Every structure is written in structure tokens, then in C-alpha cells.
Amino acid sequence: MVDSNGNNQYDDADGLAIVDNDGSGFDLILPARPGFIDLSEAWRDDNENRVKDGNEIFLDFDSSGSFNAQNGLFDGPQCTGSSCGNTSTHVRRAQVIVTSSSSALIAVSNNGIELVNNQSAGSSTPVLSIARGDSALFQYRYSDTQNQPIASSSTIAVTSTVGALDGTVADLMLQSNQNSGRTGVFTLTNNLSAADTAINTTVTVSITSPSGVVSSLSFIVTLQ
């Protein structure tokens, strides 16, 4: 709460309840105006949607057997105002911890259409053709085996046997608790000269975890 008159206690002069919080503990809540932060009972936001769903566990502070939402009262010590509630409350803080697998799932798309992924057998025939001097844009999506971020400090590399690559072709995975995989984008340019004959190039996306596990996906593109 904001002790607006500096008397080290909550009284009516300090303002009313501030209710713009969900009580999940994910966010550090600081009052932006006079008043006090009105908290519900502490609960665990399993699906991270910032809404208390019926199947999510909570700490039954008053042993009532049911979840208590915000009550408009100051729950805490040293209260002399007209909005005093309980003399104590649960202090809470929540954090998402991701335990990523060492193996990674990889899929490559072009123009929003998935061409190949490493969950299937892949493709032994060209998935695309690029005319001489032209480029094609590819997007690759990667995650751990549960569609979470891959392990932090994993390395991501994109290579091709022929042709010029540009874009996110070398990357390092930073720490993240984002509840999904990530994407990268690269272009492959057909840089064959007029005298060269058409050729197939093999493009490989590989991810190496900190423990040394390598997950890779290769596909073939024809350079006309």
C-alpha cells in the first residue's frame, strides 16, 4: 500500500483498494496511485492465462474450502481504517520453469505451407525449384518435444551444399519461458552462373543441445 500520510499504518487517508491485478504472482505489482493492492487468495496459474480457472489449485488461507477473490479490504497488519480485513495474508511470487528436452522438433515452410519436418521420414525428392538468379524464402520452426523452447545455449545452424544462404542461419538459444517454440527465416538464392547446369542442393537445419544431442532436418531444392 501507499502510506500517503507517513504514519506507518493503513488508514482511510491512504486510499481505496486497487484491484487491477490477478493475484497469480507472475507480476510484481506496485501501486501507481494511493491505496492498497487488493489480492485474492494465492493460486497457481497452470495454463498461464492470468485467470483463476476452476481446476487450478489455491492456498485456502481462511480454510473455508472455497477460493476467495478480492474482497475490497486491506489484509495485513497495522490497519486502523474502515476497510480492514485479515491481519495477515499470503505473500506470493510465481515463476515458470521450463525443463526442455535435448531433442528438438523442426519443420520448414515456404509461403505458409509446410514442406518437411523431422517427425516424418522427410523427403528424398526436391521440395521446391528456384530459377537462376532468384531466391526463395523459408521459415523454420523449432521446439523441444513438448512444443516448449529448446534448451538454452543450444545452437541453431542452417547450411546448404550449393546456393547462397542469408537470414537466420546461425543462432544461439537464450533463456526463455515462452510457452511455445520459436521460428527463424532464411533465403536461399540460386547463384549458379549461366554456364552451370541445374543441380540439386541439400539444405540442412540442425540444432545441437548443450548436452551434445543433435537434431537435424534436411531437404532438397532444385537450382534450375
Task: Give the model confidence (pLDDT) of 22-69 as tens digits.
Answer: 889 887 777 778 888 899 999 999 988 999 999 999 999 999 999 999
Burial of 107 (0-12, 13-18, 19+ CB in 10 A): buried
Mean pLDDT of 176-187: 92
Residue 1 has a pLDDT of 75
* CA atoms within 13 Å, Cβ hemisphere of 187: 9
Angle CA 115–120–123, to nearest 5: 50
Q: Where in the chain is the domain with CATH 2.60.40.10?
A: 104-223
Distance in angstroms (rounded) separating the CA atoms of residues 38 and 16: 9
Mean model confidence pLDDT for the chain: 93
Give the least confident one: 2-11, 102-111, 148-157, 212-221: 2-11
Nearest one of 6, 44, 5 to 23, comparing CA atoms:
44
Residue 124 has a pLDDT of 83
Mean pLDDT of 183-194: 98
C-alpha cell at 127: 521440395
Residue 212 has a pLDDT of 97
CB of 222 closer than 8 Å to CB of 130: yes
C-alpha cell at 50: 492470468
What SS3 state is found at 42? coil
> Which pLDDT tens digit goes with each residue over 117-163?
999 876 789 999 999 999 999 999 999 999 999 999 999 999 999 99
- CA 110 to mean position of chain CA atoms: 23
The fraction of the chain above a pLDDT of 90, given in percent, is 72
Q: According to CATH, what is the number of the domain 104-223?
A: 2.60.40.10
Residue 145 has a pLDDT of 96
Residue 186 has a pLDDT of 99
C-alpha cell at 86: 485479515
How many CB atoms within 10 Å of residue 74? 28
Close Cβ partners of 6 (under 8 Å, ≥ 6 residues apart): none
Burial of 167 (0-12, 13-18, 19+ CB in 10 A): middle
